[in-house]
A and B are shown apart, each in its own frame.
Chain A
Amino acid sequence: MTARVAVITFPGSNCDADLRHAVGLFGMQAVAVWHKDSTLPAVDAVLLPGGFSYGDYLRCGAIARFSPVMVDVVRFAGRGGPVLGVCNGFQILTECGLVPGVLLRNSGLTFQCRDVNLRVEGKPTPFTGGLVGATLRLPIAHAEGNWFADAETLARVEGEGQVIFRYLGNPNGSVHDIAGVSNSAGNVVGLMPHPERYVEADVGGTDGAGVFRSLSASCFGALPLKAPGATA
């Protein structure tokens, strides 16, 4: 049986096709989901892509969190379903409150597209199963990736092992060099770098492959989660 992975397309998403391509390379079936859909189809995981949902107007991710499908995504996450937000997807997750913190303008004030080195750490998640301790080289492409949280939240995130990716060489001024965090349960992860961009040797490298292998393994390790809205 093939794992089914939803990739949500918001108006202005532009890494949705890249995520679907990567999912397909690792033997999973990508399911394109439109943001206006009122329910999620039956899937094993949900991915929120990078891009400029609603043109980043008002604040990155601030409008997309009100898309109809997000009601079901929040329910899916609440039942322990794996959810990954990349770049703008991460920004949307913070706006929904599914992961802690906010993403500010880069300290250098400009959009930055370049490779960064990351260390995978923290609690086990469906996306980093076998990767903890590894160093990855992945690209960033953002203007608002400077993760920030108040002191209390930061202490909790650090203390509970919710820092999942940490920059080795901070590109945007994020507090504690944080590049990606999870919720307290560990099933929802957001990160600024793009693992889907480095999954093939001829296009940048393969350091992103582990994220998709982990997802594939975790989908098979647990019973597929039914989409809550679809069967209730």
Chain B
Amino acid sequence: MNPGNEQDTITDEMVQKHGLSPEEYQRLLGVLGREPTFVELGVFSVMWSEHCSYKSSRIHLGRLPTTGPRVLIGPGENAGVVDLGDGLAACFKMESHNHPSYIEPYQGAATGVGGILRDVFTMGARPVALMDSLRFGRLDHPKTRGLVRGVVAGIAGYGNCMGVPTVAGETRFDRSYDGNCLVNAFCCGIVASDRIFLGTTGAPGNKVFYVGAGTGRDGIHGATMASTEFGEGSEEKRPTVQVGDPFQEKLLLEACLELMQGTAIVGIQDMGAAGLTSSSVEMAGRGGRGLLLRLDLVPMRETGMVPYELLLSESQERMLIVIEPGREQEVFDVFRKWDLSVAEIGEVTDDGVWRCTWHGEEVAAIPVAVLTDSAPKYDRPQQAPAALPGLPEIVDPDPVGRLPAMLADPDISDKQWIWRQYDHQVGTDTVVGPGADAALVRIKGTRKYLAYVCDSNGRHVVLDPFVGTAGQVAECARNLACVGATPVGLSDCMNFGNPRKPEIMWQFARSVDGMAEACRALGVPVISGNVSLYNETDGVGILPTPGLAMVGLYEGPPPRVAGRFPRGGLTVALLGGVGRSLGGSVYARQFGFDRHGSPPLVDYAAEVALHDALRALIGAGAVEVAHDLSDGGLLVALAECCMEGVGGIFNVGGDAGALYGEDHGRALIAFAPEHAVQVRALTEGVSFRELGHTGGDVLRLADTHGYAVAELQAVWRNSFPEWLNAGAVATLATA
């Protein structure tokens, strides 16, 4: 291959293969003032890709609230940071790895986890919690089982080895994800609030170091691949998927945090999408300086590599570090101790140009501002899609009798098969782990606990992106309140279809506005995030899926609240009123009406009152159980509370809306009768309805139905693993 040190003639075909439109190429010629070299064309192609430049979404993301009294660092850095008080801060972000995971599930998901971990420890934070939000296609689609197994194994393989607990997550299924699974990975770390590291350059003369794994040919043009739709032949894109090595990353994590104990580092940036190119350009851009990179000094793990490949490789487990001259030995000492590659590959310059040489010859020289500021920015046309049909009346003579089928629904059934494969306890701080409303993880040596939840609900969002997304924000905050925590920040991972379609762009813009409104109303800043567009195959897009990850803070003695009934003799009450909204519900989908009607609305005042009441109840130790109502509504939430084996007698009946409506602003609580007066006092102003009492091993409802808890447990626990194992048998039979 051409090493790139000659002035190539750039053909239209080369431009198209690099994912640039003819107009964008003209723009490139204009801002550069000359024809690019082949190497430079590659550089522009990744820097101007949707994945790196946010060219279709940036104009909308500006409407999100990103500031607040706790926000130390908002969107734009590797991850956002919020203040936790007492000199501590939480650093977190959620990011997608959708396209690679569909092409190569194990490595795609694994490197998604690896990438988000690096984003967090780059900032100087030690990662303390991981979460994953997953979407797959129909259960009877031939690819779904293999994707589930591969993605889960990949997440486990990487996260477990890193020694960071995977404490929460969610997995849902819908036919729209048949050709595009979603893998959104979240990581949170803890950092001293005065020891946060940024990706910047400092003064000219500072030295640029490359540390971590050597560079190979994997992942070349990954960012460009992730910025297009899938069609026939997508399997051929497998070489664009990176290969992860969690052992290298564990060493890199420890080595970086060790070097960060000292004062040698001026700036540090991980090499993620678009690798060496993006990381070095971003650092130079933030520092307002130029940069010289001597590419022949980059540690390589394959022979015969050329500048084009070195600049565009997305090999994992690599970092770029800028230090002051004279501190070189400290870097060598730490990274050699951990047996990692380390090389001085360049320096910070004062001419504002991003320059790369290959054995002394210049192969690229582009003003930094051209790469960072002149990327195209589109206000793409928007148009509301044709109205979806209303929700017809569902004829169901025995809605209560539908409970077992609801518990077996793939969006509701127990996902222990997944989260048992993740180490959710390493670090010995996990107070509440997976399977709960939210995870709760202590910070050793303090009275602080961080709560984590991730949620997204494409069923609601597709019906009304504004209302559906606002509802998700409310739901996340409610989940945190159910473990006693107050939200401190949100990270968003916007998974949508092709933004060149006006209907998709409309969904995106409305979703952003709904999120913005709810975040303002609930006082939750958006501090980091990522956008994944072009989640389409053969022209069919996914449900609009804004993946949200919210972090909450609890301070005080260890909160003693569970999501399941721990014993008999407790009074059970519904806070927040009777439901009626079946639009976008799991129940409606079971009748085939999953693209019908409107999603439930959010009443912010009621929502805030409920969350405050839940926190007060838990803080006072007045309740033993708090459980949010979401998928499947009241009856499913009540059954879930019985899944430790304790049943009860409850006055719950009525129509399907009351049983399975997914209205917001509601939660179940259970408390000892002697706390009744205190509970009523603390829930003043919140709709309160006593439902019954816990006890026995049967769930009795409205004097008409009784279910042995063991039978409900079996349905809820077994339906997911049985589906997976049925697949194993079928695969063997056809092999």
Contacts and interface: CB of A to CB of B under 8 A. Distances in A.
Contact of B425 (A22, A52, A54, A139): A139
A113 B152 CA distance: 14
A187 B158 CA distance: 34
Given A52-B161, A110-B153, A202-B442, A196 B428 contact: yes
Interface stretch (B415-423, B659-667, B690-698): B415-423
Contacts of B421: 110-113
Nearest to A9: B254
A194 B245 CA distance: 25
A136 interface: no
Contact of A202 (B337, B338, B558): B558
Contacts of B248: 55
Interface stretch (A11-19, A71-79, A95-103, A215-223): A11-19
Given A111-B423, A113-B420, A51 B163 contact: yes
Given A54-B247, A114-B420, A203-B442, A11 B338 contact: yes
A73 B345 CA distance: 41
Contact of B426 (A12, A14, A200, A202): A14
B339 interface: yes
A200 B444 CA distance: 12
B156 A202 contact: no
A139 B428 CA distance: 11
B645 to A, nearest CB: 15
A141 B159 CA distance: 12
Contacts of A17: 427
Interface residues of A, number: 31
Contacts of A22: 428
Nearest to B559: A202
B245 A52 contact: no
A197 B247 contact: no
B100 interface: no
A21 B161 contact: no
Interface string B426-440: 111111000000000
B250 interface: yes
Interface string B238-264: 000000011110110000000000000
A71 to B, nearest CB: 19
B425 A202 contact: no
A55 B442 contact: no
Nearest to A171: B420
Given A111-B423, A113-B422, A52 B431 contact: no
Given A52-B160, A52-B246, A113-B420, A11 B251 contact: yes
Nearest to B449: A202
Q: Which of A22, A56, A57, A203 has the most CB of B within 10 A?
A: A203
B432 to A, nearest CB: 10
Q: Which 3 A-B pairs have the closest CB atoms?
A: A14-B163, A55-B247, A202-B558
19 contacts: A11-B338, A15-B163, A22-B428, A36-B337, A52-B161, A52-B247, A57-B247, A111-B156, A111-B421, A112-B420, A113-B421, A113-B423, A113-B425, A141-B160, A141-B423, A141-B426, A194-B425, A203-B430, A203-B442
Given A18-B427, A111-B421, A203-B431, 16 more contacts: A15-B426, A21-B444, A22-B428, A52-B161, A55-B246, A55-B248, A56-B247, A111-B160, A111-B422, A112-B420, A141-B423, A141-B425, A141-B426, A202-B431, A203-B430, A203-B442
